[in-house]
Each structure stands twice: as C-alpha cells, then as structure tokens.
C-alpha cells in the first residue's frame, strides 16, 4: 500500500518536473526566434506556467486549504496593484531626458 | 503527536497546522513584495531603454543561466519528494533527498559565482570601471546594476534556504512535519523567483 502511494507521488512529481524542463527548453528556444514583442509575451507566459506548476503541485496550493490560495493570491494582487500604480506614472508622463553627461574625471593619486 | 504538544492558542492540531502554513504563505507574499522594487526598476529600465537592455542582456551567460534554472527546478522536485515522502520512507532516504536538494542549491551558487567572476573581468560590474562600448552604455549599466542586485539577493535567499535544508538534514525526523513543509515552501518560492529572473535577465534579445 505504502509502496503504491510512494510510486504514485514519484510518478506525478517527476511528470511535473519533466513538464518544467520542457517549458524551460521552449523558453530558451523561443528566445532565439525573431518574434518581436511576442518574445517577451512568450517568455513571461512560460515563466508564469512554470511558476503555476511549482505553486500548485510542489507547494500544494491545489487541493490545499483555501486560506493558502487566498494568501498567495493576495500577495500577487498587491504586487500587481503596486506595479500598475507605479507604472501609471512613468508610462503616461512625457519624460524629457537631459543628454547624458559623463562626470568629469578627477585625477586621484594617479588612478583612472 | 499528542494534543499536549499543540499550543494553547489552537483548538486542535489540524488548526495549528493550517495556521503554520498560512503564516508561511503570508511571509512568502511579503517576500514577493521584497523583490518587487527591483523588478519595478527593471520594468522601467526595459520600457525606457529597450535597445540598451537588449544589448546588455546578450552579455549574460545564457548557457549557465539555463543550466542553473534546470538545477533549481530539479532541486524543487527533490525537495518536494523529501517533504511528501517523509512519513513513508526511512530517515536515511529522507536525509538523502534533502542533501541532494542542498547540493543542487550549492551547485547553483557555484555556477553563479563563476558567472560573476567572468562578468567582473569583462568590466560589467556597475562600478567606476564599468565599460560597455556602445551608445547604450548607461542603459547597460542600469541593466547590470539590476542583474547583480537581483541575482545577489536571490542568491542570499538561496543560501538561507540551503541553511534551512541543512538544519532538516541534521535533525532528521525530529523536526515536525509542519516545519519541514514550511521550509519546502520557502525553497519553492526561491525557485519561483528565479523562474522569472531567468527570462528577464538572460532572454531579452537572443535572436539576430
């Protein structure tokens, strides 16, 4: 009985691991194709799927107590909220950049 | 486990268990916010200087980065197995799985150190001697500031995780299952952070 349970867990977890490695290969491979903006979309989507697999299966969010999903979800939501609010600033503001100026090089005891 | 070992704050052991894991998840949520300012800086930099970031990213070692990602994903597998099989396997097997987890973590740090050394030699560490001979030098310096800051903080978290796993190895099954699960949660979170750092730092622009 115990051996069946062990085999069951090993099979499922190794399947997840295999999926993670395949997704890693897809992520790395797709980076070498010229897909424009879709490169970013693809790599972040694949990362989100990998993270989802680790969270749901390895971290036992799936089938665990609802409080754990609530805590994880709230953390994620707060981060997204802060990103959205912060980026609302620099995405809509027209920034007039001063031309880059190198600081004047100061001679210090012969270094530089 | 007898009921006398449950703190008087909880009505029963299952309740104490849920509280322990809920607390860990809340901590993990705060850790996500801990990484967020650097990620926001990256977001800003990539939006503001797409070409500079793309060029800088090409100077990271994608072979080591990809290998390190595979190493951490494997360490998560082994850690999850250790925790899940804890009550079904011998102490020896349990310890072996945990030692494997810690070794994979150390392998990651060793490869990271090798990367850092190479980048230092190439003048990519964002100090006074940083040089990146393109018009995008300043954007590249911002990228590498974020690269070193994010990977160093991640590495520190990983080191702490290795310490926690080593604690589990030494104490074996005398450490409660709840604590073992919580340390597992921490380890997987460190893995998840890297899962996102990898494409952001190594895969910005690899084509062409």
Residues B144 and B125 sit within 8 Å (Cβ to Cβ): yes
- Joined together, the tokens standing for residue B174 give 């005398």
Residues B186 and B178 sit within 8 Å (Cβ to Cβ): no
Closest CA to B40 of A82, A73, A49, A42: A82
Closest CA to B33 of B155, B202, B189: B189
What is the pLDDT averaged over residues B5-14? 82
Q: With an 8 Å Cβ cutoff, are A10 and B184 in contact?
A: no
Q: Is the dihedral of CA B21, B22, B25, B27 positive or negative?
A: negative
Q: Which pLDDT value is given to residue B8?
A: 82
Whether this model's ipTM surpasses 0.95 comes out as: no
Q: Is B48 on the interface with A (CB under 8 A)?
A: yes
Q: Is B78 on the interface with A (CB under 8 A)?
A: no
- Region of A63 please: left (phi>0), alpha (psi -120 to 50) or beta: left
- Joined together, the tokens standing for residue A91 give 């995405």
How many angstroms away from the CA of B187 is the closest CA of chain A? 9
Q: With an 8 Å Cβ cutoff, are B81 and A28 in contact?
A: no
Q: Is B76 on the interface with A (CB under 8 A)?
A: yes
Along the 112 residues of chain A, how does pLDDT read in single tens digits? 568 889 999 999 999 999 999 999 999 999 999 888 899 999 999 999 999 999 999 999 998 999 999 999 999 999 999 999 998 887 887 767 677 766 666 655 554 4
Q: Which pLDDT value is given to residue B134?
A: 87
**SS3 at position A65:** coil
How many angstroms away from the CA of A109 is the closest CA of chain B? 15
Q: Which residues pair with A111 in a beta bridge?
A: A108
Cα–Cα dist B12/B207, whole Å: 57
CA B200 to chain centre: 14
Closest CA to B115 of B58, B61, B196: B61
Q: With an 8 Å Cβ cutoff, are A54 and B188 in contact?
A: yes
Per-residue pLDDT at B1 exceeds 50: no
- Joined together, the tokens standing for residue B59 give 């100077």
pTM listed for this prediction? 0.90
Question: Is the model more confident about B178 or about A90?
Answer: B178
pLDDT grade for B3, boundaries at 50, 70 and 90:
very low
Which residue, among B43, B203, B205, B208, would best test binding to A if mutated, counting the most A CBs under 10 Å from its CB?
Answer: B203
Least confident of A20-34, A78-92, B56-70, B104-118: A78-92
Give chain B's mean pLDDT: 94
């Amino acid at each position: 009985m115990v051996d069946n349970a062990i085999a069951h867990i090993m099979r499922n977890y190794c399947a997840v691991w295999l999926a993670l490695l395949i997704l890693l290969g897809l992520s790395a491979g797709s980076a070498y194709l010229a897909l424009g903006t879709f490169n970013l979309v693809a790599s972040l989507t694949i990362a989100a799927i990998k993270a989802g697999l680790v969270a749901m299966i390895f971290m036992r969010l799936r089938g665990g107590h609802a409080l754990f999903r609530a805590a994880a979800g709230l953390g994620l939501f707060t981060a997204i909220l802060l990103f959205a609010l912060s980026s609302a600033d620099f995405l809509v503001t027209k920034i007039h950049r001063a031309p880059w100026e190198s600081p004047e090089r100061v001679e210090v005891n012969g270094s530089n | 486990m007898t009921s006398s070992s449950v703190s008087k704050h909880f009505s029963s052991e299952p309740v104490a268990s849920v509280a322990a894991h809920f607390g860990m998840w809340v901590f993990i949520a705060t850790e996500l916010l801990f990484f967020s300012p650097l990620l926001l800086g990256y977001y800003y930099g990539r939006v503001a200087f797409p070409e500079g970031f793309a060029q800088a990213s090409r100077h990271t070692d994608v072979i080591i980065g990809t290998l390190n990602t595979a190493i951490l994903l494997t360490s998560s597998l082994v850690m999850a197995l250790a925790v899940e099989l804890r009550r079904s396997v011998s102490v020896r097997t349990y310890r072996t799985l945990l030692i494997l987890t810690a070794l994979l973590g150390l392998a990651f740090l060793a490869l990271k150190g090798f990367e850092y050394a190479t980048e230092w030699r190439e003048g990519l560490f964002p100090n006074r001697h940083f040089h990146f001979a393109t018009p995008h030098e300043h954007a590249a310096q911002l990228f590498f500031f974020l690269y070193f800051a994010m990977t160093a903080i991640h590495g520190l978290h990983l080191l702490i995780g290795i310490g926690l796993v080593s604690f589990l190895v030494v104490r074996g099954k005398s450490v409660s299952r709840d604590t073992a699960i919580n340390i597992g949660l921490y380890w997987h979170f460190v893995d998840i952070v890297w899962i996102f750092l990898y494409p952001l730092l190594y895969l910005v622009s690899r084509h062409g």
